[in-house]
Amino acid sequence: MAGVIIVGAQWGDEGKGKVVDIYTDEADYVVRYAGGPNAGHTLVVNGEKVVVRLVPSGILRRDAICVLGQGTVVDPKVLVGELDTLDARGLSPRDRMKVAERAHVILAYHILVDGLREATSAAIGTTKRGVGPCYEDKAARRGIRLRDFRSRVDLEARVSRALEAWGPTIVALGGTVPTVEAVVDDAWDAGQNLLPLLADTAALTEAALKARKRVLFEGAQGTLLDIDHGTYPYVTSSSAIAGGACTGVGIGPSRIDAVVGLAKAYCTRVGGGPFPTELEGPVADRIRTIGAEFGSVTGRPRRVGWVDLPALRYAVRLNGLDSIALTKLDVLAGLETIRACVAYDTPNGRTRDFPADDLEACTPVYQDFPGFSQDVSNAKHLDELPKEARDFVRFIESEVECPLSIVSIGPGREQTIILSHPLRPE
Q: Rg for the chain (alpha carbons), in Å?
A: 21
Q: How many residues does the chain have?
A: 426
Told to judge if 13 belongs to the known catalytic residues of this protein, a careful annotator would answer: yes
What is the DSSP secondary structure assignment for residue 146, as one 8-state letter? G
The residue type at 37: P
- Beta partners for residue 104, in sequence order: 73, 145
CA distance linking residue 171 with residue 145, whole number of Å: 25
**Of residues 21, 41, 110, 322, which has the active-site annotation?**
41
Distance from chain centroid for Cα 50: 16
Separation of alpha carbons 104 and 110, rounded Å: 12
Dihedrals phi, psi of 276, to nearest 5 degrees: -55, -35
Cα–Cα distance for residue pair 69/189, rounded to 1 Å: 22
Contact between residue 116 and residue 170 where contact means Cβ atoms under 8 Å apart? yes
Whole-Å CA distances, 23 to 150, 193, 216, 366, 411: 36, 30, 8, 33, 15
Beta carbons of 323 and 292 less than 8 angstroms apart: no
Let me know: does 28 contact 240? Beta carbons within 8 Å: no
Comparing C-alpha atoms, which of 25, 20, 34, 28 is closest to residue 2?
Answer: 28
- Is 104 an annotated catalytic residue? no
Catalytic residue list = 13, 41
